[in-house]
Amino acid sequence: MISRALFPLLQCPTCRSRALYVSDDGVHCAGCGTCYPFRDGYVDLMPRGARYDYVSKYVTDEAELAEELDYRELAPPLLAAGVRDRALRRLLRFQPGDVVLDNGCGTAKHAVWNADRVRLMVGSDPATLFADRAVAEVALARADSRSLPFADGSFDKAFAIDILEHFPLAVIDQYLAETARVLRPGGRMLAFSNTREASPIQPLIDLSRRLGRLFVRAGLYDFSREARRKSDHVKALERWDDVLAAFERAGLRPVRVVFWNSLFTTFVEHVLMKLGEAALGRVKRGASAARGPAQEAAVPDRGDLLPAASQPPGSAAGVAREIRARRRIRRQLRPGSPVYLALLAVTLLMELDLWLFGWMRCGSYFIVVEKAD
């Protein structure tokens, strides 16, 4: 949404002037004369005339990704997203008076799930694949994290979930420096990302992967959608020391670290849930005509549980089946419903990884850092 509470925080992302005024059609800079227009539910605060070498896949392929990412309708915070969200809440400890930035918010799901816990939740992203609920409930800005449209010290807290692994090193440095700039002294940031470090219990974790591969070979499911989501992972911070050094360069001091050795998580993601999706994603023959129009019709009616030979390998059918399964599940996800409670139990099983193995250094990490006073 376009929130009036956002305006006092703004600074021109092009010339850094704070002399801004608001009219019916947008925010205007008196310094450089740029108009930042109001769009459908967000303010377009991208810097003008900036040339960047790196542009996110989510910006260049936005239209193409829109359908595949299935981003508009949000599920409740369950499974891996639920583990992230619960850790975010526990580690960053939102207070009712907080002004918080979800920097690189994507759909802004974490902003939506936590908006009512704080005074102002702001989501910013250069791509505008915002969920419908985010457009309705969160102050949204289209912005570049290398030149944020916010004044120094505007935020009590910030978070970056699944962001840093996408960026080359120079962009990470700019991203962290800008995040530090807009945090108040003593303000905190949480990042969830991953390095290339293996887990000490990797051989155990790989048992689930191997089991998963057997099912893939049997044509039961595939991982093409996951692979595509991760296709632009750079992991420029290769080792844990690189992570600590990057935050230190930005003047951000670590206060808390939890690693995610994904023993239960990998079993859930590679075996349990994929089997569930394969079963739920089957096309119910003759049922699709009776179903509501837009939702299911958007997904091609293929990808039945066919024998391996007739299943297109690594295919659009797999993606379609997965989206169909997720939509079917989502319709039954009212909090308190049996499906919801079952998935919550699975979420807590995945979270057990953090409680049991959070102290063991590995690739996936949550880190809380603080800006010096």
- Shortest reach from residue 37's CB to Zn ion, in Å: 14
| Least distance (Å) between residue 30 CB and Zn ion | 8
What six digits make up the tokens of 107?
């759909």
Provide, rounded to whole angstroms, the least separation between the CB of residue 312 and Zn ion.
51
151 touching Zn ion, by CB under 5 A? no
Among 3, 7, 15, 215, contact with Zn ion (rule: CB under 5 A): 15
Place of tokens 């002294």: 185
Per CB under 5 A, does 31 bind Zn ion?
Answer: yes
The span from the CA of 184 to the CA of 318, in Å, is 46
Cβ closest to Zn ion, residue 16 vs residue 89: 16
Select the residue interacting with Zn ion from 29, 250, 252, 346 (CB under 5 A): 29
**Interaction of residue 17 with Zn ion, rule CB under 5 A:** yes
- In one-letter notation, the amino acid at residue 289 is A
- The whole-angstrom separation of Cα 361 and Cα 364 is 8
CB of 15 to Zn ion, least distance (A): 3
**CB closer to Zn ion out of 15 and 344:** 15
DSSP 337: S
The pair of structure tokens assigned to 185 is 């002294």
Structure tokens at 220: 């039961």
Q: Residue 68: helix, strand or coil by DSSP?
A: helix
Single-letter amino acid, residue 199: S
**Candidate ranges 11-19, 71-79, 246-254, 327-335; the one touching Zn ion (CB under 5 A):** 11-19
**Is there a contact between 138 and 122 (Cβ–Cβ < 8 Å)?**
yes
Find how far residue 31's CA is from the centre of its chain: 34
Interface stretch with Zn ion, choices 23-31, 44-52, 101-109, 169-177 (CB under 5 A) = 23-31
d(CA 327, CA 70): 9
Nearer to Zn ion, 13 or 318 (CB): 13
C-alpha 173/C-alpha 170 separation (Å) is 5
Q: Would you say how long the chain is, in residues?
A: 373
Q: Which stretch binds Zn ion (CB under 5 A): 7-15, 61-69, 162-170, 252-260?
A: 7-15
12 binds Zn ion (CB under 5 A): yes
Give the residue with the Cβ less far from Zn ion, 49 or 292: 49
Chain residues binding Zn ion by CB under 5 A are 12, 14-15, 17, 29, 31-32
